[in-house]
Structures are given as C-alpha cells and as structure tokens.
C-alpha cells in the first residue's frame, strides 16, 4: 500500500523555524511559520501532527509524515529533533538483534541506557549529520556526531546508517 503525498512543502529557514507552503485555498500559497503539537497517541511520533500558526490555530493535521516528500520529511524531522527533548548518546557499548527487536546499550549524558527498537525501525540520519533513534516507548535519542564517537562505536552504528 503506497501513501499518497500531500501537495505541501515544509522547510527550515536560517532561524531554524519551520515554514509551510502549498495551502492554496487557505493561505494563497504564501509561506507561513508553523509550530507543531503532537496529537494522541504520543507513542506514534511520526503520526498525527498538528501544524499551528502564530495564533496557535491549526492550519494542517498531518496523519502521517510519510505523506510528505523526502525533503519536507527531512526538514520536519530535523525541526522535531531540535524542538523535542532528546537524550544525547555519547557512546555505544553494544547493539544486538533478537527476534523482532534491536537492543542498543548506550551511554548517554544521564548514564547507561538500554534502548529497544523494532528491527524495521532504523536510526535516521538528519540533514545536520546527527543520528536519531526512537525506542519502543517513543523516547528519542540522538547521536550529535558519529565522528565524535569512539572507533568501536562508529563501527557498531555504521552498520545501521548509511
């Protein structure tokens, strides 16, 4: 089943603010600055996002980020990574796969954590070069720079990102 792409465009400007264009009927194709509120259920971070204008009025409800073109989705993910609280991964101890799960044992700025993801959920490389991992509970973790990891950790994560 393929997802039909929406005829909108999201993009980040120099001020790291997210803008939306393409809503011809509502905003006559003008660019508008938007903020995002996540709708229930919060465990689905890539679904049901409410785009709101400066007056906090909803201008778009996005059911699924897969309805965006690649560039818009990448800019949205980068915006979300900057606006959400994310635990920073400073080192990777191990990555092991078992039935339907991938287990990351990592060191964060808050200590050692075990992160579990589905095997189908791959770490995402963002435009700024950071790597985002979302666990089964919806918590988000970020590696700010793969280059700053120890060589063993770079080798471990290198298998999962291109």
pLDDT at 11 (0 to 100) = 92
Q: Which residue has the tokens 């950071």?
A: 130
25 pLDDT tier (thresholds 50, 70, 90): low
Q: List, as one string, the DSSP characters of the chain.
A: -PPPPPS-EEEE-TTS-EEEE--HHHHTT--EEEEEEEPSPTT-TTEEEEEE-TTS-EEEEEEEGGGS-HHHHHHHHHHHHHHS--EEEEEEEEEEEETTEEEEEEEETTEEEEEEEETT---EE-TTS-EEEE-TTS-EEEES-GGGS-HHHHHHHHTT--
pLDDT in tens, 73-90: 989 988 887 766 678 899
Percent of the chain at pLDDT > 70 equals: 88
pLDDT at 45 (0 to 100) = 66
Mean pLDDT of 5-27: 82
Q: What is the pTM of this model?
A: 0.53
pLDDT in tens, 36-47: 887 866 556 678
């Amino acid at each position: 089943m393929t997802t039909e792409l929406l005829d909108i465009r999201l993009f980040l400007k120099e001020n790291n603010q997210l803008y939306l264009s393409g809503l011809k009927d509502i905003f006559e194709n003008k660019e508008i600055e938007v903020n995002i509120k996540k709708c229930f259920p919060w465990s689905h971070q890539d679904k049901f996002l409410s785009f709101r204008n400066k007056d906090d009025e909803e201008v778009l409800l996005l059911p699924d980020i897969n309805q965006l073109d690649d560039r818009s989705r990448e800019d949205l993910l980068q915006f979300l990574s900057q606006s959400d609280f994310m635990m920073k991964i400073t080192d990777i101890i191990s990555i092991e796969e078992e039935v339907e799960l991938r287990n990351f044992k990592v060191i964060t700025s808050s200590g050692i954590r075990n992160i579990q993801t589905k095997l189908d959920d791959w770490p995402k490389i963002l435009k700024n070069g950071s790597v985002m991992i979302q666990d089964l509970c919806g918590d988000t973790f970020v590696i700010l720079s793969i280059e700053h990891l120890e060589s063993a950790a770079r080798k471990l994560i290198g298998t999962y990102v291109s």
